[in-house]
C-alpha cells in the first residue's frame, strides 16, 4: 500500500485494485507537484467537505476517470448538478464498502459566484485498503469523538496541524493520543500564511511514528501478515 501526499489535505492511496484520491485540491494549490493530468485511472474520490481547498478538482477528475465520488448527501447533490455521474452519498457514522464517514467539527459551505451553497456537515473518512486502515480527519478541531477512533485500529492517521481553521500542533498532538495510530502524517499546513506550522514539531508518543511528507512524496507500507 502506498500513500502519496499531494499537498494541503490531498492524498493518493494506492493498493491492489484500488486507486483512491482524497480531497484533490491540485490546480489551485501552488505547492502541489501533481495536477489532474497525472491521474488517468482512479477507483474512488473522497471529499470530506464543501470548501474549495477540498472539493478542488473533483468534478474534472470524476468526469475524466469515471471514479465514484464518496461524499455527504448535500455535496452529492451539488456534484450531480455539475454533471458528475458516479456518486455515492453517505453520512457521518455510515459505512459502505471499505469507507466509513467520521465526525469533523468545521463548516462545509460551497462557495460559487459569490454565493454560499449548502454543503451539509463536514466529515472525515476511514478507508480500509491493502490491509491497512487509514483515517483522514478532513478539516476539524479537536473533538472527543476522536477518542472513539482508538477502537477502530487506525494504522495511519492524516491530521490537520495548521491551526486557525483546524487543530493546531498542540491539539493535533492531543488527537494522536486519542486515536493511537501506528503512524501519523501531518496535513493542512503551510499552504497559506494563516496555517504556517512546522510538522516536525508535532509531538507524538513513543509508540507512534510521525511521517512528514513533502508534496509528491510517498510512504510505502508492506503487505500485512
When the beta carbons of 57 and 139 are compared against Ni ion, the nearer one is: 139
User: Binding mask 39-58 vs Ni ion (x if CB under 5 A, - otherwise)?
Assistant: ------------x-------
When the beta carbons of 19 and 54 are compared against Ni ion, the nearer one is: 54
Measured distance CA(191)–CA(88) in Å, rounded: 29
When the beta carbons of 44 and 54 are compared against Ni ion, the nearer one is: 54
In the complex, least distance from residue 48 CB atom to Ni ion, rounded to whole angstroms: 8
In the complex, least distance from residue 62 CB atom to Ni ion, rounded to whole angstroms: 20
User: Binding mask 98-137 vs Mn ion (x if CB under 5 A, - otherwise)?
Assistant: ----------------------------------------
When the beta carbons of 74 and 139 are compared against Mn ion, the nearer one is: 139
In the complex, least distance from residue 1 CB atom to Mn ion, rounded to whole angstroms: 25
> Crossing angle of helices 73-81/58-65, nearest 10°?
70
Task: Give the total of residues touching Mn ion (CB under 5 A).
Answer: 2
In the complex, least distance from residue 198 CB atom to Mn ion, rounded to whole angstroms: 19
Among 139, 155, 168, 171, binds Ni ion (CB under 5 A): 139
Stretch that binds Ni ion, among 90-98, 134-142, 167-175, 208-216 (CB under 5 A): 134-142
74, 65, 33, 54 alpha-carbon torsion, rounded to 10°:
0
Sign of CA dihedral 24, 29, 32, 33: positive
In the complex, least distance from residue 66 CB atom to Mn ion, rounded to whole angstroms: 26
Measured distance CA(41)–CA(61) in Å, rounded: 9
> Does 53 sit near Mn ion (CB under 5 A)?
yes
> CB under 5 to 8 A by kind: which of Mn ion, Ni ion, none does 14 bind?
none
Kindly list the residues in this chain that would bind Mn ion in the complex (CB under 5 A). Answer: 53, 139
Kindly list the residues in this chain that would bind Ni ion in the complex (CB under 5 A). Answer: 51, 139
Amino acid at each position: 500500500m502506498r500513500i502519496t501526499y499531494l499537498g494541503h489535505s490531498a492524498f493518493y492511496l494506492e493498493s491492489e485494485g484500488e486507486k483512491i484520491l482524497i480531497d484533490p485540491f491540485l490546480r489551485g494549490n501552488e505547492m502541489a507537484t501533481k495536477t489532474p493530468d497525472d491521474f488517468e485511472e482512479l477507483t474512488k474520490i473522497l471529499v470530506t467537505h464543501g470548501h474549495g481547498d477540498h472539493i478542488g478538482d473533483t468534478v474534472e477528475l470524476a468526469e475524466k476517470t469515471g471514479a465514484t465520488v464518496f461524499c455527504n448527501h448535500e455535496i452529492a447533490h451539488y456534484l450531480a448538478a455539475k454533471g458528475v455521474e458516479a456518486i455515492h452519498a453517505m453520512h457521518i457514522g455510515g459505512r459502505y464498502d471499505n469507507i466509513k464517514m467520521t465526525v469533523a467539527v468545521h463548516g462545509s459551505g460551497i462557495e460559487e459566484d459569490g454565493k454560499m451553497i449548502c454543503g451539509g456537515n463536514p466529515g472525515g473518512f476511514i478507508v480500509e485498503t491493502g490491509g491497512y486502515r487509514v483515517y483522514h480527519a478532513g478539516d476539524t478541531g479537536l473533538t472527543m469523538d476522536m477518542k472513539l477512533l482508538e477502537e477502530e485500529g487506525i494504522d495511519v492517521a492524516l491530521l490537520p496541524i495548521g491551526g486557525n481553521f483546524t487543530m493546531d500542533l498542540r491539539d493535533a498532538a492531543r488527537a494522536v493520543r486519542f486515536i493511537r495510530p501506528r503512524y501519523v502524517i501531518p496535513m493542512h499546513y503551510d499552504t497559506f500564511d494563516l496555517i504556517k506550522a512546522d510538522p516536525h514539531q508535532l509531538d507524538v508518543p513513543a509508540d507512534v511514528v510521525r511521517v512528514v511528507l513533502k508534496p509528491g512524496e510517498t510512504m510505502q507500507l508492506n503487505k500485512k501478515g
